[in-house]
C-alpha cells in the first residue's frame, strides 16, 4: 500500500527544545575552542578571544539551523536523508558565514578594536588579499571545519537520541467516509479513545503523549507506531511525530484499542478486518493501512476481532490450486 509523502500536518520540534540544545552545544563548542586556541589571525587577550569565538559560534549556529529548516521545506529536497540535508546546510551555510566571519575577524577585532595580525611563516612576504578574493579564502578556510562541527553537533539528533534537527512531513491520511460501516464484530469493541479529562472542552491534561498531540490533528486515533523514543501517531486528520513510548499508549488507551505488534498499537474502531495470509496475520485499518500482527499476539487479536477475520489466498497459490484442480478433473 502506497501513501504519498504530502503531509497534512508537520511535526515540528518546539522552539524551546531547539534553542536549549543549540545553546548547550554552542557553549560546549566555545569551551573547546578556548581550550584548543586555534589560530584566529590576530593576537588578543583571552577575554577578547572569548568574545570573538562567542560571536562566531552563535552566528554560525543561528545561520546553520535556519538554513537547515529552510532546506527541509524545499520540495526537491524532501526525499533527502537528514544527514545529507545537514551536510548541505553546512556547505551552503559556509557561503553565508564567510563574509560574516570576515567582518567579525578583520572588521571588528582588527579594524575596530585594533588587535594586531598574527602572521605565520607562510604569510611573511605574502601580498594581502581583499575583496572577493578575501571572501573566497575565508570560505575555503571555514567550509571544512564548519560542516564537520555542524555534523558533530547534529549527530545525536540524527540518531534519534534528541529532538530531530528538522521537521519531517508526515503521511497523508484520507479520512474514511462518514457512512463507512464498522464491522458488526467490532461494534462492541468500539470505545472512545478520549478519556473525559482529555475532551477538547476540558483542559489539556492526561498522558504526556496525549498532551503533545497538535490540536489540529483532533482526537480520532487510527494507529500509533513506535520509532525509537518517538511515537508516530495517525489520526483521521493527519499524522505527527512526538516524544513518548508505546507502553504509555497501551496503558492509557487499553479500553480503546490494543497493541498488536512490538511496534504498533491500533484503535479498535478503525480495524476493518483481520486478514490471514501466507506470510502472517494483518489488521487492515480504515485508512487502508495494513499492520502486521506479531505471533505472540495473534490469539489475542483473533479473540477480539475474530468474527472479522478472513483468509486471503496469495495469487500464486490460487493459480497453483486451479492448475491442480484442472489436472485432477
More confident residue, 86 or 201: 86
Give CA separation, 247 vs 207, 253, 265, in Å: 11, 10, 9
Which residues have CB under 8 Å from 69's CB, separation 6+?
166, 167
pLDDT at 35 over 50: yes
Beta strands 271-277 and 309-311, pairing class:
parallel
Which residues neighbour 101 within 8 Å (Cβ) at sequence distance 6 or greater? 56, 59, 138, 142
The pLDDT of 262-279, averaged and rounded, is 89
pLDDT tens string 165-207: 665 444 333 333 433 443 433 333 333 333 333 334 445 567 8
CA distances from 158 to 60, 90, 136, 295 (A): 19, 15, 30, 32
Res. 124: pLDDT tops 50: no
pTM of structure:
0.49
The residue with greater pLDDT, 18 or 86, is: 86
The three-state DSSP-derived secondary structure of the chain is CCCCCCCCCEECCCHHHHHHHHHHHHHHHHHHHHHHCCCCCECCCHHHHHHHHHHHHHHHHHHHHHHHHHHHHCHHHCCCCHHHHHHHHHHHHHHHHHHHHHHHHHHHHHHHCCCCECCCCCCCCCCCCCCHHHHHHHHHHHHHHHHHHHHHHHHHHHCCCCCCCCCEECCCCCCCCCCCCCCHHHHCCCCCCCCHHHCCCCCCCCCHHHHHCCHHHCCCEEEEEEECCEEEEEECCEEEEEECCHHHHHHHCCCCEEEEECCEEEEHHHEEEEEEECCEEEEEECCCCEEEECHHHHHHHHHHHHHHEEECCCHHHHHHHHHHHHHHC
Closest C-alpha among 245, 173, 239 to residue 209: 245
Q: Which residue has the higher pLDDT, 278 or 93?
A: 93
The predicted-structure confidence for 37-52, as pLDDT tens digits, reads as follows 888 888 899 999 999 9
Confidence band of 208 (pLDDT split at 50, 70, 90): confident
Distance of CA 295 to the CA centre of its chain: 30
Model confidence pLDDT, tens digit, residues 279-320 = 788 998 988 889 999 989 988 888 888 765 565 544 444 434
Spatial separation of the C-alpha atoms in residues 304 and 292, rounded to whole Å: 16
Domains of the chain (ranges plus CATH)? 10-158 (no CATH), 173-317 (2.40.50.1020)
Rg (CA), the chain: 28
Mean predicted lDDT score pLDDT of the chain = 75
Nearest Cα neighbor of 94 from 50, 45, 143 is 143
pLDDT band, residue 55 (cuts 50/70/90)? very high
Amino acid at each position: 500500500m502506497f501513501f504519498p509523502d504530502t503531509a497534512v500536518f508537520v511535526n515540528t520540534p518546539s522552539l524551546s527544545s531547539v534553542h536549549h540544545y543549540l545553546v548547550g552545544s554552542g557553549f560546549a563548542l566555545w569551551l573547546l575552542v578556548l581550550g584548543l586556541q586555534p589560530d584566529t589571525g590576530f593576537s588578543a587577550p583571552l577575554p577578547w578571544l572569548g568574545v570573538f569565538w562567542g560571536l562566531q559560534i552563535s552566528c554560525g549556529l543561528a545561520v546553520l539551523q535556519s538554513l537547515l529548516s529552510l532546506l527541509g521545506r524545499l520540495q526537491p529536497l524532501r526525499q533527502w536523508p537528514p544527514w545529507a540535508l545537514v551536510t548541505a546546510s553546512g556547505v551552503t551555510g559556509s557561503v553565508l558565514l564567510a563574509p560574516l566571519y570576515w567582518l567579525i575577524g578583520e572588521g571588528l577585532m582588527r579594524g575596530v578594536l585594533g588587535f594586531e595580525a598574527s602572521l605565520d611563516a607562510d604569510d611573511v612576504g605574502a601580498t594581502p588579499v581583499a575583496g572577493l578574493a578575501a571572501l573566497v579564502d575565508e570560505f575555503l578556510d571555514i567550509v571544512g571545519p564548519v560542516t564537520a562541527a555542524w555534523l558533530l553537533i547534529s549527530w545525536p539528533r540524527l540518531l534519534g537520541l534528541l529532538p530531530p534537527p528538522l521537521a519531517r512531513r508526515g503521511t497523508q491520511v484520507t479520512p474514511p467516509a462518514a457512512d463507512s460501516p464498522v464491522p458488526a464484530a467490532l461494534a462492541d469493541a468500539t470505545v472512545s479513545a478520549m478519556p473525559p479529562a482529555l475532551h477538547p472542552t476540558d483542559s489539556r491534561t492526561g498522558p504526556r503523549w496525549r498532551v503533545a498531540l497538535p490540536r489540529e490533528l483532533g482526537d480520532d486515533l487510527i494507529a500509533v507506531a513506535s520509532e525509537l523514543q518517538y511515537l508516530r501517531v495517525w489520526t483521521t486528520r493527519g499524522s505527527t511525530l512526538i516524544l513518548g513510548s508505546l507502553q504509555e499508549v497501551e496503558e492509557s488507551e487499553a479500553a480503546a484499542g490494543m497493541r498488536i505488534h512490538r511496534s504498533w498499537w491500533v484503535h479498535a474502531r478503525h480495524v476493518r478486518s483481520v486478514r490471514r495470509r501466507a506470510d502472517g496475520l494483518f489488521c487492515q485499518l480504515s485508512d487502508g493501512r495494513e499492520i502486521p500482527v506479531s505471533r505472540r499476539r495473534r490469539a489475542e487479536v483473533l479473540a477480539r476481532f475474530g468474527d472479522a477475520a478472513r483468509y486471503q489466498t496469495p495469487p500464486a497459490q490460487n493459480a497453483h490450486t486451479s492448475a491442480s484442480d484442472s489436472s485432477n478433473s
